[in-house]
Chain A
């Protein structure tokens, strides 16, 4: 039997002395980072895309996950790359960006790239009922969230691999993780590039402004994509994001 779903596998593309760690988002899969990973591998970098705990298996697994498990997976990827590369750049999408920031608080990556990372869960009910979520999840393990699509590239949207439901307990973990991230921003010193899309319906622009302002890094920049929505590494603005990423990596590792 196989536990990880098809296309949900993590990836490793050996290359040069600069390592890129790619971290996908909440309810997503390594697949959402794969195009970017392939692009960076073609640029000569060593690339590793991790699978976060309870992702790309079955949604019920998410109720057993804690945000510390996800951070431990990000650390795993970092340690694996450290064995091959003299410098490691950490790249995260959405919640993966929050993990990127927490990783940079503990370790010293050459740089970080944070894409479409929120500072709070968009649904503010989660904030109010956070203490009850573990209990609620016992009777209502998963919920289906209605929500409009912000994809510009509809073909890419069809290929998107993610859970179609939210595990209730895991919403509490995401909430806690984002809180930990907000409190840690000042302690992050690595050179940082933030990439956000103007058409992102999930993450409001003030998240980008908040992170940019609070980050302890002296070298920090933001790129606003005109094209595409929240899924920056997959949607219509991806080529621009990939090129900006490669340019950023070359500059900070030179």
Chain B
């Protein structure tokens, strides 16, 4: 048992620097998964038997459950399962007893484990994001899972589970401590009237995004029709259409039904993929709050993550060819932490906007990159090239950039580097200067013959690798030197790791 006293859970304040325990329902919610698993096994293994009971038919031989029932051991079997469940829940109870956490002004710290003790500390000024996930079952019980992402691989501090309102409160407090402001946040009053059931129902029906934390004009929502359309116009759909067409062509040519074997699993797989994609993307919203960008989604299981300012290392806006007539774009980001939570639409959580039109994209970019002028972003997305504020490839680059040489270019603003490429698959990569790790200039023999060079901007690892090839060698050299200077300047004046430290004491 822990040697230090553990403060009893007060309503609200977790940030007093004392050790706290998680929500008392935690052992049940974690042990409950084992129960569901056992139940699931029995149901699956007895499926045939159930069908036979209702519809008649032969008895199956050699089934362990049938054997137990026929030899009068059913009671023992049930007892064994119950005993196992009790042991699991007791084990979870003790692990809950030993699982404590505390939040001080500097760190968030978790101790856990019965036999193998672990102790994990995360520095608050290195917090890269906070996720609150509410899977359906825990959500019914009014609990939530909170995860603090700290920079690094597998560097997350998980608090599983907390009371639902306590999780929101804790996130607000962690962000307040991390932001460096010394102002106290105003305590929001939770409406605690009504019975427990009424509270649960109110919580389930509440909008995913609390309207009080973000001004409605900053909120971007995902339209359902657009989500459907974007999935229809995706590579996966083309693939399934190709499979179906292929199957029917073989069917009509050979008359053999064998090819149907491929069709059924494909259709089932794709169906479940689309269903989970849609339910996860319902009620999707992305909004700006004082403590960063908040991305939330989900109908039954909800999830939302907050990315504090200055935690986005690069942004990529791209447009698959099929989305072009509709004018849709997708936005991805590079982050310094790897969160275990999935993003909306079953994608990696680095995709912060699965699909959006021009105004959505500009709104989201204004949230994640508040310092970059929207006019240049607009030109970065749509301009065909020419004299538009970007330094583009010279005409001789047309040898290796057949269609895109007019558009293939870069721009350097006060706070960011913009790399634009692709005339068919259009793409714009924006790297905030204060987040650049280093910059490189490359030239191979073919590029040298053409008097061209390639530039690369190094950021933390992620889905985006910012690079731009086929740039005039002299322009690239100038860019390299200017960017190197800009990186130093911007990181010197950057204060986003304590983003509200400049605020006056309120």
- A joins B in a complex: no
What is the interface of chain A, defined by CB distance below 8 A to chain B?
none
